Amino acid sequence: MNKQEGPGKTMSDTMFCGQCGRQVPAAAKFCLECGAPQEPEPPPAAVSPPRYVDGPPRAAERVERVAPGAGELAGELAQRLQTPGAVAAAIVGGVALLTCLVVGLITAVVSPDRTLIGLPHAGDGVLTEALRMTVASTLAPVREAGGGEGFRLLPLIFGTAPFFGAAMGARAAAPSLTGMSARDAMAWSAGGAVIFAGVMLIVALAVNGQNGEQGPDLRFSIGSLLLLSVLLTGAGAAIGARHAARAVAPDRPGVQLSPVIAGPLRAAARSLVGLAALLAVTMLVGFVHVEVQSIRGQEQATGLVRSNVGAAIETVLFVPDIGIETAGLAMFAQFNGRALPVDDEKRGKLLASLDDEGRGRIFDYSGALPAYVFVPELLILMGAVLVCALYAGFAMARTARPQTQLIAAGWGALTGVVWALVLAILRALAFGQTTIGDSVFANALLIGAVTGAAGGVLAFRPVGIRTPSRPGAVRG
């Protein structure tokens, strides 16, 4: 309130002299008492209404009540997405996606409908087929809409597309990861697998059921798609980041594992060398067998009429799958129906030798193949299994350096465990396998354990006895 000072005047019309303190008119330039100059008081500044950057406080308070910490989480995510690690993950996922898309497009263009790869897509447009091939490069199985057993559209070799795509992406993202530890660099790179899996899920949902009039209604298994996408790209990204880190900073220490873990891993890696050698032999034997049958009669071998050149090219793509199936046969695993192709007139003998459930073993081919074909193939396959398992057990025991012969045999026997697990995984990922999974696992476990244990015994060297490093060397 303004208090009246006199008629028509208020206290706001006067002021006080800063020197003598006498009250003077507000418009006076000098004090009437002491003559000191007077300065009028500045008018009060206008107060502007408050401006809110993130909205009125009431809305933020409501969000905080409904989801406590949501604002803090959003800020933290925004900050994290701008880090070099997030950029590296985006590069890894993007390069892996681009690699699979290129592979899918090329496959859709060059594979005609009358091939094993192109037959399920007969009548589809190039774009639809390319997108389906892109998703199929993850080795995710498909099923027909009405149900039935799942199968894969592409052979095992196509699984290298997301793996090597992620590895190349990790190498391209290496400059973004400079200064990180090897463990953090591998973890961020592997994070690109999540981006890759998410985009693949969207593409799979888009192409599910989009089949032409001639093709079946195929739908991808979403669970398998997500799992295989993460595993393939995550493994490729981690390996690529590890190699890139060594190239950029050779002196930087790598991921250090506990001796309890590192020792068995090194021994298992030695065992896998033997398994790789066995698969090389079975790939060669299986390829020759299938290719000879394809040349002699394409209808009997594949059910498709193809040129010899086309059959040879497609057989090369299926070599890993053929080798895995032949390895199961070499270990006397059961197969269902027909594992390797035979002549049309001999097919009846093969089917007649199977049991009531339509299952058989490699010996049932004796009546369906000529002796000059069956006997050499059987001897080569059996010999390869024994020699490779013996070497795997020997290598595992030598790596572990056991103190007693019994422990050496135990290390060698682990060959069966390693081989059974790896073959079970490969068989599950391979195209069109007719060998029975349980039979492959059990036989690989038994043969690998027994033969590997013998190799472990051979690897044992008592303390003080060394293997001569050159001819004429003396043990001591």
User: For the packed helices 405-429 and 319-330, what is the interaxial angle rounded to 10 degrees?
Assistant: 130
* pLDDT the model gives residue 74: 64
Contacts of 46 (CB under 8 A, 6+ apart): none
* pLDDT the model gives residue 43: 59
Q: Where are the beta strands (DSSP E) in 20-168?
A: 23-25, 142-144, 147-151
* pLDDT the model gives residue 120: 59
- Summarised one tens digit per residue, pLDDT across range 70-101 is 666 766 666 666 677 788 888 899 999 999 99
Beta-strand relationship, 147-151 and 142-144: antiparallel
- Cβ proximity of 289 and 329 under 8 Å: no
Q: Which two tokens stand for residue 316?
A: 């090369």
Nearest to 213 by CA among 122, 85, 84: 122
Nearest to 159 by CA among 85, 73, 93, 225: 225
Q: Which two tokens stand for residue 383?
A: 């010999």
Beta pairing partners, 154: none
CA 233 to chain centre: 3
Phi, psi for 67 (deg, rounded to 5): -130, 85
Contacts of 390 (CB under 8 A, 6+ apart): 451, 452, 454, 455, 458
Q: Which two tokens stand for residue 207?
A: 């192409």
- Cβ proximity of 435 and 328 under 8 Å: yes
Count CA atoms within 13 Å of residue 356 on its CB side: 0
* pLDDT the model gives residue 7: 42
pLDDT along the chain (476 residues), means of 10: 42 69 75 74 56 52 64 64 78 93 88 61 73 90 75 88 92 77 76 91 86 68 91 89 70 58 80 94 91 63 53 81 92 83 76 81 86 91 96 91 89 93 90 85 95 92 57 43
**Which residue type occupies 193?**
A
- Count of residues in the chain: 476
- Cβ proximity of 312 and 269 under 8 Å: no
Distance CA 468, CA 460 (A): 14
Helix boundaries (H) for 160-307: 160-172, 182-190, 192-207, 222-248, 259-296, 298-302
Mean pLDDT of the chain: 78
Q: How many other β-carbons are positioned within 10 Å of the β-carbon of residue 471?
A: 5
Sign, CA dihedral 89-90-92-97, equals: positive
* pLDDT the model gives residue 2: 43
* pLDDT the model gives residue 474: 40
Q: How many other β-carbons are positioned within 10 Å of the β-carbon of residue 385?
A: 24
Residue that is written with structure tokens 């290598």 in the block = 395
Distance CA 322, CA 316 (A): 10
H/E segment holding residue 220 = strand 218-220
* pLDDT the model gives residue 11: 45
Q: In which region does residue 381 sit, left (phi positive, over 0), alpha (psi from -120 to 50) or beta (all else)?
A: alpha
Phi, psi for 149 (deg, rounded to 5): -80, 140
- Cβ proximity of 135 and 204 under 8 Å: yes
